[in-house]
Amino acid sequence: MEMRDVPNWILSLEEEDVEFIKKFVLNSGSLKEVSKIYEVSYPTVRIKLDRLIQKIKLNDELDNEEFIQFIKKLSIDDRINLEEAKLIIEKYKKEKGES
């Protein structure tokens, strides 16, 4: 899979979120097992998962916005490079989230 094919919701996650997902998958989706790994209670892990779900849903909603689609198209058409596109989208999302 090439970098441009990686879904934006994955790219928007923090390293800690990706590590949580990896542990979750490797433990067959068992929150009980993940809670043992992190040495926290099941409800704490459930809250972490719920927040991660919200973050992914929010990112999906933002990805469907016209401006973001425009920036992605510029990148696909090689009018701007991928790193520039990611920076613009990240800045837009931060400003959008603060309003």
DSSP reduced 3-state for 2: coil
Instruction: Report the CATH fold assignment for 1-62.
Output: Arc Repressor Mutant, subunit A (1.10.10)
C-beta separation of 60 from 9 below 8 A:
yes
Structure-derived torsion over alpha carbons of residues 82, 14, 19, 35, reported in degrees to the nearest 10: -160
Model pLDDT for residues 42-58, shown as the tens digit of each residue: 999 999 999 999 888 87
* pLDDT above 80: residue 85: yes
The residues spanned by each domain of the chain are 1-62, 65-99
Tokens 């994955």 belong to residue: 10
What local confidence, expressed as pLDDT, does residue 98 receive? 56
Percent of the chain with pLDDT over 90: 39
How does the average pLDDT of the chain come out, rounded?
86
What local confidence, expressed as pLDDT, does residue 26 receive? 97
DSSP reduced 3-state for 40: coil
pLDDT band at 94 (very low <50, low <70, confident <90, very high): confident
C-beta separation of 59 from 89 below 8 A:
no
What local confidence, expressed as pLDDT, does residue 76 receive? 78
What local confidence, expressed as pLDDT, does residue 20 receive? 97
